[in-house]
A and B are shown apart, each in its own frame.
Chain A
Amino acid sequence: MLAIWKREVQAYFYQPIAYVLIGLFFLVSSIFFTLGTVAGGYAEMNYLLSNVTFILIFVIPILTMRILTEDRKNGTEVLLVTSPASVTQIVLGKYLASFTVFLVMFASTLIYTAILYILGGKPEVPMLIGGYTGFLLLGACFTAIGVFASSLTESQIVSAIISFVFLLIVNLIDAIASFLGGFFAKVLDMFSLLSRYNDLNSGIFDITSIIYYLSFTAVFIFLTTRVIDKRRWSQG
């Protein structure tokens, strides 16, 4: 698992992709920070964080689109599957590699918090911690969705589109739920990543939200291993 993680992280940084994505993310978040937080005079990070989650809808699909598709296309899947590593270990290694790149993006936002303090802002600590925890967990879930999408196809583009659509739906699910109302709203709310995020971002620390995010991630990683196993059974 560690070997796969290491290789994939290296692959991200040997190629321009990680730099481009991190750069893009950094650019957009700096715009929000400058125009929103600083110019608006808000001594908090939550405005920025809730806005940049939107960027993740674009960034995560590109980040994860090649993670499993490439192995199928180049035939390296054979190498991984016939090694002593289990499918779960393979998927976890891949997932953690993508998540590591996300962590770098995440870390870049800490700079703004530092700047905020330097500028003399005194953000509320619980809100700060809540906001960052929520952002981290949301990233974990989004990455899991992206990795899952890349297990479904051999094409990077198709993989990116699937995860993009998936993430878009996740982002719109609250709006759809409130439009439908009643029973459907309750069902859809079970899949609402953002409503829980908003809670955390407001500094409401609810252990159930954290468990929710972690299990959401675990379920998608599990589904990914199932997809790979299923394909091994059905085709060569």
Chain B
Amino acid sequence: MVKIQNLTKYYGEIKAIEDVSFNVSKGEILGFLGPNGAGKTTTMNILTGYIPSTSGTVRVDGYEIMEEPREVKKRIGYMPELPPLYMDMTVTDFLDFCSALKEVDKKEWKSQKDDIMELVKITHVRHRLIRNLSKGYRQRVGLAQALVGAPDVLVLDEPTVGLDPKQIIEIRKLIKALGKNHTIILSSHILPEVSAVCERVVIINEGKIVAIDKPSELSKNLGDYSRFTMTIAGPEKKVKELLQQIYGVKYIEVQSNIKDDEYSYIIEADKDLDIRRPVFHKLAEVGYPILELKSLSLSLEDVFLQLTTEEKEVN
């Protein structure tokens, strides 16, 4: 549905993004993740046709943004970080204006209008001036604006910024629901948000893509070793010795003494080796029972930090 290839953008001398490429298939919710200033908004601005790129192509439904901007723009609903609202209009007037601006057929708009307002729950404030709405409601009107004309692709730039926790959960639910009928590209610097909502994640740092994968895969595949916590009954020294003999174990740390001779350990081992069975057999031989064993996968947070800070060290 959306194909982005080798997108590069310079602001004068400053390189904002470099060689950004990714695809989004129809009906997918793609998370666009990165620290502040990584180039998320720049990418989204280019993709929606707000600013032109220095080089590279964006294709939406086969249309290229520079060659046929009208066709692309008709297919995209964009909600920038700061919702573009006219404060001096009421909600319905504003949405009517958006429908005319986006050249939505009048009959079609009539049938859509109530549904959209119902969906983002702004029906009861529809006659109020946008100026008088709270931040949460403005955000929703901003989202409603992006939905006008039922575009195939929704581009949402940090849709939950500045909302309270309850509103954040609501907006996330809403985005998930929208994902059934729309292709969604969503940017965020909040990790749980992305792992909660998105099917695939693009991580961008300093203008370059550092990873593209499913949230679960990202946390599994990254890191050079696998980690476990184990609680084992047995003398600390002896257990440590035994564990060290197992092939693939790289690092053992005693985390805490739970009671008497029950200790919990953190063990890191080679990524490709499953050490759980050898550990079981080894300890069973000497009669030290494993009371608890848990595989620790890296959280998306760890992945993110690892990816975005590694980059710095290289530089």
Residues of A near any B CB (own CB < 8 A): 2-4, 6-7, 10-11, 14-15, 74-86, 232-236
Contact = CB atoms under 8 A, between A and B. Distances in A.
B73 A7 contact: no
A6 B89 CA distance: 12
B76 interface: yes
A236 B101 contact: no
B42 A234 contact: no
B74 to A, nearest CB: 5
B85 A76 contact: yes
A11 B88 contact: yes
Contact of B88 (A3, A15, A232): A15
Contacts of A84: 70, 73-74, 101-103
Contacts of A7: 86, 89, 97
Contacts, number: 76
Contacts of A82: 48-50, 73, 76, 78
Given A76-B86, A81-B49, A235 B74 contact: no
B51 A79 contact: no
B52 interface: yes
A11 B103 contact: no
Nearest to B73: A84
Closest 8 CB pairs of A and B: A3-B100, A79-B84, A75-B82, A76-B84, A83-B101, A82-B48, A3-B101, A84-B70
B84 A234 contact: no
Given A82-B49, A84-B74, A85-B101, 9 more contacts: A7-B86, A7-B89, A74-B85, A76-B86, A79-B84, A82-B48, A232-B51, A236-B45, A236-B51
B16 interface: yes
B51 A6 contact: no
A83 B73 contact: yes
A78 B100 contact: no
Interface in B64-93: 69-70, 73-74, 76, 78, 80, 82-89, 93
Contact of B87 (A74, A79, A86): A74
A235 B86 CA distance: 23
B41 interface: yes
Contact of B16 (A4, A14, A77, A236): A236
B287 interface: no
B48 to A, nearest CB: 5
Given A2-B100, A83-B101, A84-B70, A78 B88 contact: no
Contacts of B145: 79
Interface in B45-69: 45, 48-52, 69
Nearest to B81: A75
Contacts of B100: 2-3, 6
Contacts of A6: 97, 100
B20 to A, nearest CB: 15
A219 B156 CA distance: 37
